[in-house]
Each structure stands twice: as C-alpha cells, then as structure tokens.
Structure 1
Amino acid sequence: MLWILLAIIALIIAATLILFRLEDLTHLDSHDYPVREGTPSEANREVLGRIHELGESSRGLKGKARLMALRKHMDGLSEGIALESEFRYSPEPRGEWVIAPGVNTRRRLLYIHGGAWAAGSPRSHRTVTDRLSHIANAAVFAVDYRLMPEHRYMDGVRDCRRAYSWLLDNGPDGPEKSEFMAIAGDSAGGSHTLGLLAWVRDNGLRQADAAIALSPSTDLTMTAPSNRNNIGTDPLLGPVFGGLAKIPLPVIWWATWAAFRVSPTNPVASPLRGDLHNLPPTLIHASDTEMLLDNARRYAGKARVQGSQVTLHTWPGMVHVWHIFGPLLPEAEDAFGDIQNFLQDVEAAGSRQTSTPGIS
C-alpha cells in the first residue's frame, strides 16, 4: 500500500515539474526602478475608507452572494462623480462607448476593466474611461467581456480580441476605419491588455499605436517577491489574496489550472511568460506598496531586454489601481497627466519617423 502512495506522489511531482516548467526570472528583480518622490496625499485616507467599505459590503457573505455584493459595490464607484462624457451602450460587441465632448471618433481606445476576471464592468470604471477619452482625444470602447465563474477565462480573452478587431474598422457611429488605436486596462484587464498585444502581433493584425497597463497582473505563477513581501502594505489585494502565501506554489498552480482551464505558465494568462519582442510603446503604472509591483517590474525588464519600448512609472504608497479614485485623489490626476504626456510623446515620435526621409 505504501509503495502505491509513494508512486502517486512521485507521479504528481513529475507532472508538476513537466507541466509547470518555469523560466527563472529572478535576474529581473535586480533591475533598478525609481519611485516618484513624495508621500501619499491626505485624500488617500478617504480612499482607504472606501476600500474598507468595499470589504464591508461582502463581509459575512460567501460564494455567489459575496461575488454579487462585490460586483454591485464596484459598479457604484463612479456614482456621484461629475463625468462629462457620453456613455453609449453597444450590444455587439457588448460594451460601452465613452465619448468626451469634441473628441475625434476616428481615434479609438479599447479599455479592458479589472476585477480579478470575476467582477467589474464598463460602469465600474467610468471615472477612468471618462478621463482617458479626454486626454487621448479618442472614443473609448469599454468592452464588457464575459466574467468567471459563469464563463470560462478564455471566453473573456476572446471577447477582448474580437472587440479590438472590430474597433479597427468600426466607430461609435458605424463602420469607419480608425486612424489611431490604443489599448488600456487595469489589474486583470491589464493582463488582458498585455496578452492582447502579443496576440495582435502574432496574428498579423494592425498593431496598436500605444498601450497602457495600470497595476497589471502579468504572472499567475505567484513567484514574484512582492506577491508575498507586499501583502501587509496592500490594503486592497492583501486581505483578499494574502492567504495564498501560506499555500505551496504547486498547489496554487494546479488550482489555477482547474479554475482558469489554462496553465498559469501559459502567456495567455501570464503575459510575462511569453515572447515580448516587437510590441508597441507601452506605459505601465504601479505602486511600490502593492502586491503586483514585481509583476510590473519583471514585465518591463523582460520587454526591454527583448527590444520593446516599455516604460514603468511607480508611485509611492498608492492603492492598487488608484486611478479609479480620480478626481478625489490628486495622485490619480497626476497619473492621468502622465498618461497624456506618454500618448503625446508616442505620437510625436511617430510623426518624426514618418517625416524623416528614408524611414517608412
């Protein structure tokens, strides 16, 4: 009987080593990534209070009831905030157009919301999409991709791919080719954003002119140091995912595969684990106190080594995806200003390249 048990254990270990073969990325942790100077503003206290309310909204609930409460609370994040954009529902592909006054609708930005692939919606992120439409001078399409657990992870991935392909030739008023395309997303949506860039490249579609990832998840293997080191300093993700630090990584990998039906080492779920060459100019924002800090650092470091133009800007002491708390939070407005500068620099560089003789 003992030898049967030992054989089963050996088989599980062998399968784990074969199926979850990991590239060693620890060398990327030695890169120096500067953090902006300063301390969190007084408004950050109110933000922390809102995060506490988010936790209280689902306290005592379990399973589906807890998830529904979380979704409802997230959808109310933009309530009471003055937004200037027009919000126009799109049934197919499902999502929401966000159109600031006077923007050029031939310029488009696909926005992919966060929420751990199980929560969030175009409505929950209106404070973000409203600002992006303004600063990008573009019509923003916030895709309402299918969420887990009602749907499979890959269903959401396919929704994002389809939305991007559609936006290349369709605007808010009907068929019309785009003259500028960008992709942006936060957290889980940041993961979809970075994965989408690689898919577009590999499938010969017109690549985005620019991409923006806010506090992105880039690696579901949970091997980055900040996944454990920043549990106590991340008021949003720490209470939810901090307990995973007590679970052996192979157990997490098998559980992830069971839930996502995709290996955590697959670049579709972990963009960091893929080929990062020949990607468009990309801006990443992260906080030095969030659990996903090293997800951003490792992605930026690997992408640069492979020749892609990826810029990482890090804020001190901010909550995960602090951008969603603008205009309450000065640091959120600062971050949107940084995004605007990035987009202007990208377009200026493109204009110089186009006008330079001998460069096409």
Structure 2
Amino acid sequence: MFWIIATVVLFIVALTFLLFRIEDLSHLDKETYSVRATSPSAENQNVLERLKEMRRAGIGLRGKARLMALRKHLDSLSDGLELTSEFRRCDNPRGEWVIAPGCDTRRRILYIHGGAWAAGSSRSHRAITNRLSHIANAAVFAVDYRLMPEHRFMDGVRDCREAYTWLVDNGPEGAGEASFILVAGDSAGGSHTLGLLAWIRDSGLRQANGAVAFSPSTDLTLSAPSNRNNISTDPMLGPVFGGLSKIPKPVIWWATLAAFRISPTSPVASPLLGNLADLPPILIQASTSEMLLDNARRYAAKANAAGSQVELHTWSDMVHVWQIFTPVLPEAEEAFADVEAFIKKIEAVNRESEMTHT
C-alpha cells in the first residue's frame, strides 16, 4: 500500500512540474523604478472606509450570493458622481460607449474593467472611463466581457478580442476607421489588456497606438515576491486573497487550471510569461503597497529587455486601482494627469514618425 501511495505522489509531482514549467524570473526583481514618495492625502482615509463597506456587503453570505453582493457594490462605486460624459449602451459587442462632450469619436479607447474576472462591469468603472474620455479627447468603449464562473475564462478573452477588432472600424456613430486607438484596463482587465496586445501582434492586425494598465495582474502563478510580502499592506486584495499564501503553489496552480480551464503558465492568462517584443508603448501604474506591485515591475523589466517601451510609474501606499476613486482622491487625479502626458507623448512620437516617412 505504501508503494502505491508513493508512486501516485511521485506521479503527481512529476506531472505538476511537466504541466507547470515555471520560469525563474527573480532576476527581474533587481530593476528599480522611481516612486512618488509622498504621503497619502487625507482623502485616502475615505477610500479605506469605502473598502470596509465593500467587505461588509458580503458578511454572512457565501458562494453565489456573496459574489452577487460584490458585483452590486462595485456597480454602485460611481453613484453620486457628476459624470459629464454620455453613456450609450451597445449590445453587439456588449458594452457601453462613454463620450465626453465634443470629443473626437475617431479617437477610441477600449477599456477592460477589473474584478478578478468574476465581477465588475462597464457601470462599475464609469469614474475611470469618463475621465479617460475627457483627457484623451476620445470615445471610450467599456466592454462587458463574459465573467466567471457563469462563463469560461476564455469566453471573456474572446469578447475582448472581438471588441478590439470591431472598435478599429466602428465608432459610436457607426462604421468608420479609428484615427487613434488605445487599450486600457485595470487589475484583471489590465491582464486582459496586456494579453490582447500580444494577440494583436501575433494576429497581424492593426496594433493599438498605446496601452495603459492600472495595477495589472500579469502572472497567475503567484511567483512574484509582493504577492505574499504585501498582503498586510494591501487593504483591497489582502483580505480576499491573503489566505492563498498558506497554500502550496502547486495546489494553487492545479486549482487555477480547474477553475480557469487554462494553465496559469499560459501567456493568455499570464502575459508576463509570453513574448513581450514588438509591443506598442505601454504605461503601467502601480502602488508600492499592493500585492501586484512585482507583477507590474517584472512585466516592465522583461518587456523593456525585449525592446518594447514600457513605463512603470509607482505611487506610495495607494490602494489597488486607486484611479477608480477619481475625482475625490487627489492621487487619482495625479494618475490621470500622468496618463494624459503619456498619451501626448506617444502622439508626438507618431507625428514625428509620420513626418519622417513623408
């Protein structure tokens, strides 16, 4: 009996290392990046209170009921804000146009919301999409990709791909080629954003002019140091995912494979593990205190080493995806000013390139 058990254990171990070939990326942790070393504003305390409200919304609930409560709470985040954009529903692809007054609708942004691939919507992230439409002078399409667990992870990926290909040739008023296109997303949506750029490149499609990722999840293998080291300092992700630190990583990999129906080592689920060459300019924003900090740092380091242009800008002690608390949080306004400067920079480079080739 002992030998049977031992054989089974050895087989599982061997199969684990065969299926999940984890690349050692610890050398990427040596890269250093500048940090906006300012103390959090007084308004940050209000943000922390709102996070407590979100956690209280799920107290006493389990399973689907808890998930639905989280989704409802996220959808209420923008309630009460004075948003001056027009919000126009679209059914095919599913999502919402966000159109600032007077913006150039030939300029377009595909926004992919976060929410751990199981929550969030175009409505929950209106504070972000409204702000993006204004600073970029562009029509934003916030895609409502299919969520887990009702749908498979790859269903959501396909929805984002279809939304991008459609957006290149369609605007709020109908058919018409985009003059400028940006892809942006946060957290889980930031992962979809980065994965989408690689898919666009490999598919030979018109590439986006640039991309913005707020606190992106880039590696589902959870091998980055901050995934464990920053649990206690991340008031949003720490209470929800901190317990994973007590579970052996191979167990997490198998659980991810079962839930996502895709290996956590797949570049589709973990963009960091893919080919990061020949990508458009990317801006990544992250906080020094969040669990996904090193996910962002590693992605930027690997992509820059591969010849792509990735800027990583970090803020001190901000909550995960603090940009969603615009305009009440000054640091969120700083982040969008940073995005606006990034957009102007890539536009200047594009104009210079066009002049060189004429």
Flag whether TM exceeds 0.5 (same fold). yes
Q: Hey, what does 1:139 align to over in structure 2?
A: 139
- 1:38 corresponds to: 38
- Look up the SS of the partner of 2:212 in the other structure: strand
Can you list the C-alpha shifts for 1:187-245, whole angstroms capped at 9, x where unaligned? 00000000000000000000000100000000000000000000000000000000000
1:213 matches 2:213: yes
* Equivalent in the alignment of 1:154: 154
Rounded Cα–Cα distance in structure 1 between residues aligned with 2:46 and 2:168: 40
AA aligned to 1:27 is H
Alpha-carbon distance in structure 2 between the residues aligned to 1:290 and 1:85: 31
Q: Report what 1:180 is aligned to.
A: 180
Letter in 1 for 2:50: R
Paired residues, what number?
358
Residue 336 of structure 1 aligns with an amino acid whose one-letter code is F
| Residues 212-231 of structure 1: pairs in structure 2 closer than 5 A | 212-231=212-231
Instruction: Tell me the CA shift for residue 20 of structure 1.
Output: 0.4
1:99: how far off?
0.2
Q: Which residue of 2 aligns with 1:82?
A: 82
1:50-109 per-position Cα deviation (integer Å, ceiling 9, x unaligned): 000000000111000000000000000000000000000001000000000000000100
**1:339 Cα deviation (Å)?**
0.1
Question: Matches of 1:45 and 1:138 in 2, distance apart?
Answer: 32
Distance 2:33 2:100 in 1: 34
For residue 298 of structure 2, what is the aligned residue in structure 1? Answer: 298
Q: Which amino acid aligns with 1:322?
A: W
Q: CA deviation at 1:322?
A: 0.1
Secondary structure of the equivalent of 2:257? helix
Q: Distance in 2 between matches of 1:26 and 1:260?
A: 25
Structure 2 residue aligned with 1:201: 201
Specify the code of the residue in structure 2 equivalent to 1:51.
L
Matched, 1:236 2:246: no
Q: Distance in 2 between matches of 1:326 and 1:272?
A: 28
SS at structure 2 position matched to 1:286: strand
Report how far residue 178 of structure 1 moved. Answer: 0.6
Quote how far apart the aligned CAs of 1:353 are: 1.4
* 1:33 to partner: Cα distance: 1.4
Give the structure 1 partner of residue 8 of structure 2: 8
Residue matched to 2:99: 99
* Residue 169 in structure 1 maps to residue 166 in structure 2: no
Q: Which amino acid aligns with 1:73?
A: H
Task: Give me the whole-angstrom Cα distance separating, in 2, the residues matched to 1:163 and 1:39.
Answer: 39
Counterpart for residue 336 of structure 2: 336
TM-score by length of structure 2 reads 0.99
Aligned to 1:258: 258
Letter in 2 for 1:2: F
Which residue identity lines up with residue 36 of structure 1 in the other structure?
R
For 1:47-66, list aligned pairs within 5 A: 47-66=47-66
In structure 1, what is the Cα distance between the partners aligned to 2:265 and 2:253? 9
Task: Report the counterpart of residue 27 of structure 1 in structure 2.
Answer: 27
Listed as ranges, the gaps of 5+ residues in structure 1 are: none
TM-score (norm. length: structure 1): 0.99
Amino acid paired to 2:336? F
Matched letter for residue 288 of structure 1: T
Partner AA of 1:104 in structure 2: D
1:70 matched to 2:74? The reply is: no
Counterparts of 1:112-123 in structure 2 under 5 Å? 112-123=112-123
Alpha-carbon distance in structure 2 between the residues aligned to 1:176 and 1:320: 36
1:353 equivalenced with 2:353 (yes/no): yes
**In structure 1, distance between residues paired with 2:299 and 2:60:** 37
Q: Distance in 1 between matches of 2:123 and 2:158?
A: 21
Which one-letter code corresponds to 2:90 in the other structure? S
SS in structure 2 at match of 1:115: coil
Partner of 2:310: 310
Deviates more, 1:280-289 or 1:347-356: 347-356
Report SS of the residue matched to 1:168.
Answer: helix
Paired amino acid for 2:119: A
CA distance in 2, matches of 1:355, 1:63: 57
Q: Partner of 2:36: helix, strand, or coil?
A: coil
- AA at the equivalent of 2:40: P
Overall identity of the aligned pairs, in %? 68
Cross-structure match for 1:284: 284
Indicate whether 1:269 and 2:269 are aligned: yes
Quote the residue 1:190 is aligned against: 190
SS at match of 2:122: coil
Post-superposition offset of 1:248: 0.2
Amino acid at match of 1:144: D
Q: Deviations over 1:25-60 (max 9, x none)?
A: 000001111211211000000000000000000011
Please state whether the residue corresponding to 1:190 is helix, strand or coil.
Answer: helix
Deviation >4 Å, runs of 4+: none
Q: Structure 2: state its 5+ residue gaps.
A: none
Tell me, what secondary structure is at the counterpart of 1:296?
Answer: helix
Report how far residue 354 of structure 1 moved.
1.2
Report how far residue 350 of structure 1 moved.
Answer: 0.9
Q: Distance in 2 between matches of 1:54 and 1:233?
A: 17
